[in-house]
């Protein structure tokens, strides 16, 4: 049975500064580099049998994916545009505190994170879910490996999880917090409590 390991990148400079990154292409922070290395070591120690690594083209994801391929002696990660983070529209590059939390109908709060639903120029979660389904279809047609690792981002990662487990975008958004360098297992018939493979010791958002 095929297994898809879904991971979020380590903390990047925008995460550390409290900035909406979206398609901004910042490198990993010092903590993010530590998270990526520990994440790679965990994959090796757990003997997950990963044969192929796919990555978002953005630097923070690719650097994290590269840490895994190096320690596993695999070919460099293959970049897939469908794995890129949600386009945050006019909020890109803005402080996270700039979200207007007074507009409760445009915000979904999940733990410490306030997810905006619609702003000018941004992808909506239904659009993101559609992209997640396209990714899974692409993998079905093009991936020949049994165990693969996808390194992506918070918002698109949640929608990939939702698409795989046949959840609505609302359910996927609120079921869990996808922390930096966290690894989630996508496998048919797997119970919810067994889906989290690894969480960083220093949790960041």
Q: What is the CATH number of the domain that holds 175?
A: 3.40.50.1240
Residue carrying the six token digits 């879904």: 6
Q: What is the pTM of this model?
A: 0.95
Q: How many Cβ atoms sit within 10 Å of the Cβ of residue 30?
A: 11
Note the residue count of the chain: 205
Dump pLDDT digits (tens) for 158-193.
999 999 999 999 999 999 889 999 999 999 999 998
* 78, part of any domain: yes
* 81, part of any domain: yes
Distance CA 180, CA 178 (A): 7
Dump pLDDT digits (tens) for 8-58.
999 999 999 999 999 999 999 999 999 999 999 999 999 999 999 999 999
* 125, part of any domain: yes
* 112, part of any domain: yes
* 4, part of any domain: no
Q: Which of 128, 150, 130 is nearest to 139 (CA)?
A: 150
Q: For position 145, what pLDDT does the model report?
A: 96
* 12, part of any domain: no
Domain limits at 94?
Answer: 19-198
* 52, part of any domain: yes
Question: In the structure, what pLDDT confidence band is assigned to residue 102 with cuts at 50, 70 and 90?
Answer: low
Q: Which tokens is 68 given?
A: 């895994």
Task: Find the helix or strand (DSSP H, E) in which 149 lies.
Answer: strand 147-152
Domain tally, the chain: 1
- Which DSSP letter does residue 117 get? -
Q: For position 204, what pLDDT does the model report?
A: 47
Burial of 60 (0-12, 13-18, 19+ CB in 10 A): buried
Q: How many Cβ atoms sit within 10 Å of the Cβ of residue 115?
A: 17
* 32, part of any domain: yes
């Amino acid at each position: 049975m095929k297994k898809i390991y879904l991971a979020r990148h380590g903390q990047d400079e925008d995460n550390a500064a409290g900035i909406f990154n979206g398609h901004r292409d910042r490198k990993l922070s010092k903590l993010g580099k530590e998270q990526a290395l520990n994440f790679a070591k965990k994959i090796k120690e757990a003997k997950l049998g990963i044969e192929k690594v796919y990555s978002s083209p953005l630097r923070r994801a690719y650097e994290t994916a590269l840490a895994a391929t190096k320690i596993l002696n695999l070919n460099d990660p293959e970049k897939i545009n469908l794995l890129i983070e949600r386009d945050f529209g006019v909020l890109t590059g803005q402080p996270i505190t700039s979200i207007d939390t007074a507009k409760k109908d445009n915000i979904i709060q999940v733990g410490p994170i306030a997810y905006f639903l619609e702003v000018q120029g941004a992808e909506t979660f239904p659009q993101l879910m559609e992209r997640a389904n396209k990714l899974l279809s692409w993998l079905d047609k093009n991936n020949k490996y049994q165990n693969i690792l996808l390194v992506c981002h918070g918002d698109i990662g949640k929608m990939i999880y939702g698409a795989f487990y046949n959840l609505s975008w609302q359910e996927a958004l609120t079921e869990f917090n996808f922390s930096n360098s966290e690894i989630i297992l996508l496998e048919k018939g797997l119970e919810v409590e067994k889906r989290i493979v690894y969480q960083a010791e220093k949790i960041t958002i």
